Amino acid sequence: MTSHTLVPFDGSPQSEAALKFAVSEWPEATHTLLYVADPVTTGFRDRALPGGSTAWYDNARDRAQDYFDEAAELTGREFDTRVEVGSPARVIVDVAADGPFDHVILGSHGREGVSRVLLGSVAETVVRRSPVPVTVVR
């Protein structure tokens, strides 16, 4: 029985599908939304590489809060939330291992072929390394 899920959430259609699935499949469970601020991609998106300044982190936290607000609107529910910094796949696995979670539900970006080989796959890494069951929603 799933009682506490971890749902990585970045506002993408894939993460929205994963959240909708989690809420519909386990309506009584506690759902924690996780936003991972990747210093590399966050820095490029904000046109400033992370350094001594915490501006990039503040921007990422603000973006995460906007996504969490969207998730609440989308589902009509409130959620526990977390913002962590690092490589998304590693952070998701670490949070799943250290928390009270008994299931991870994440969206797949559906990369195939060369882009999957070159860029890797967060979902694939989480599936291989997670200490708890993982559901990937397409």
Distance CA(43)–CA(100), nearest Å, equals: 31
CATH 3.30.450.20 is held by the domain 4-137: no
> Could you tell me the pTM of the whole model?
0.88
Residue 51 exposed, middle or buried by CB count within 10 Å (0-12, 13-18, 19+)? exposed
Give alpha helix (H) positions in 1-102.
13-25, 39-45, 55-75, 88-98
Report which residue type is found at 12.
S
Q: List the domain boundaries for the chain.
A: 4-137
Distance CA(116)–CA(55), nearest Å, equals: 31
What does the pLDDT look like over 76-135, one tens digit per residue?
Answer: 999 999 999 999 999 999 999 999 999 999 998 755 555 555 445 899 999 999 999 999
